[in-house]
Amino acid sequence: MRPLWLCWALWVLPLAGPGAALTEEQILGSLLQQLHLSEVPILDKADMDKMVTPAHVRAQYVALLQRSHGAHSRGKRFSQRFREVAGRFLVSEASTYLLVFGMEQRLPPHSELVQAVLRLFQEPVPKAVLRKQERLSPHSARARVTVEWLHVRADGSNRTSLIDSRLVSLHDSGWKTFDVTEAVNFWQQLSRPQQPLLLQVSVQREHLGPLASSAHKLVRFASQRPWGTGPAEPQLELHTLDLRDYGAQGNCDTEVPVMEGTRCCRQEMYIDLQGMKWAENWVLEPPGFLAYECVGTCQQPPEPQTFRWPFLGPRQCIASETTSLPMIVSIKEGGQARPQVVSLPNMRVQKCSCAWDGALVPRKLEP
């Protein structure tokens, strides 16, 4: 099975840890990086006193400030809730299957999707046919099964996204599983609950070329088990966590001090830029800002999930949404100081969430 980290991107905050407070060193480091400087510039206070911020610079700063309140950067995974959705073969050809899953009301409200698993029943190849394949090497007696998410756009055009891929043997039969979490995540981003989830499954030869084996044509997936032993419709298993128990609570209660058992929440934290020595004569706006921080703890599922996600640690309180911080700074060009607007990414926490330590973040659906 293709490793999940190949299709998901890690999201990195400039924080010391998942829920750690922003530090002076991190602000300074981000500012130097944005301005492509190696050290804090030396600026004369007399020059600062004479400097006037032009209207267009202030307008740019205000526009970035307003935009930062509406544009969030998202971060963000086993399962105490489980649902199974039966699908159907809309199209079934020799090597391609189109699966349709009705998803309306399948994902509970206030829940976090942890994993979605596609289960397909591989038909056994008749023994007489297998005997003809015995001369094939073990590598040639395999086929590659690929699962793609099919997105039908509003204009009628289609696009596919690779979700999972694995090798199967001709000598195997029974249920095969594929991780399609990313496909369900893409479907969720469409915000169309009545639209079904479409998965395209293709069976391809492992090796290309004129001498490659055609054994892949013998790999078939059934909607009925052989000899009438029961149904074998494609199944979609949805594993979720109820965020009312395993999520964050929003903003911290200002009337109650944060204790060891406080549920994950966002706490106010003011950063005083005027009190930082390096910011003198350099940072003109703002004098300070509310950065917030994520504090508290997250409830852990009663059963460990390392059997499927061995790299995951316990659920932690992290900053899952952040915004940038616009600044007006003074820079020196041609011996004269002038104001310049700069935006530091991921400086202010907008939302705190509970997530497993080391978890990967789903890709954003592209237009």
Residue showing tokens 């009628």: 156
H/E stretch holding 266 reads: strand 265-267
Nearest to 119 by CA among 79, 166, 176: 176
pLDDT score of 199 more than 90: yes
Rounded-to-integer distance, Cα 269 and Cα 267, Å: 6
C-alpha dist (Å) from residue 30 to 120, 126, 182, 285, 347: 49, 64, 32, 16, 9
Question: How do residues 152-162 score in pLDDT, each as one tens digit?
Answer: 888 888 888 99
Q: What is the pLDDT of residue 112?
A: 87
Enumerate the CATH 2.10.90.10 domain ranges in the chain, comma separated: 11-76+244-356
68 and 324 Cβ atoms separated by less than 8 Å: yes
pLDDT digits (tens, 9 = 90+) for 255-275: 888 888 899 999 999 999 988
pLDDT of 298 reads: 92
For the chain, what is the mean pLDDT?
Answer: 78
pLDDT at 279 over 80: yes
pLDDT (0 to 100) of residue 256: 86
Q: Is the pLDDT of residue 239 over 90?
A: no
Residues β-bridged to residue 118: 178, 236
Task: Specify the 3-state DSSP secondary structure of 180.
Answer: coil
* Contacts by 62-65, CB closer than 8 A, 24 or more apart: 64/324, 64/326, 64/341, 64/343, 65/326
Which CATH number fits the domain 11-76+244-356, given the four candidates 2.10.90.10, 3.40.50.2020, 2.160.10.10, 3.40.640.10?
2.10.90.10
Give the CA distances from residue 82 to residues 113, 149, 177, in Å, rounded to whole numbers and listed in that order: 10, 22, 16
pLDDT at 7: 32
**pLDDT of 122 over the 90 cut:** no
Going by C-alpha positions, the residue among 341, 293, 340, 288 that lies closest to residue 19 is 293
Q: Tell me the whole-structure pTM to 2 decimals.
A: 0.66
Look at 33-37, 134-138, 239-243, 319-323 and tell me which has the smallest mean pLDDT: 134-138
Q: What is the pLDDT of residue 208?
A: 59
At 325 the pLDDT is 92
Show the tokens assigned to 50. 């004479």
Q: Is residue 252 predicted with pLDDT exceeding 90?
A: yes
Q: Which of 24-33, 80-89, 139-148, 245-254 has the lowest mean pLDDT?
A: 80-89
Tokens 């094939």 -> residue: 136
**Arithmetic mean of pLDDT, 120-135:** 73
- Asked if pLDDT for residue 96 goes beyond 70, the answer is yes
CA neighbor of 88 nearest in space, from 185, 196, 181, 227: 196
Q: What is the per-residue pLDDT for 306?
A: 43
Residue 78: is its pLDDT beyond 50?
A: no
pLDDT greater at residue 175 or residue 20:
175
Q: What is the pLDDT of residues 330-366, one digit of tens each?
A: 888 777 788 889 999 999 999 999 988 776 667 777 7
C-alpha–C-alpha distance, residues 43 and 337, integer Å: 8
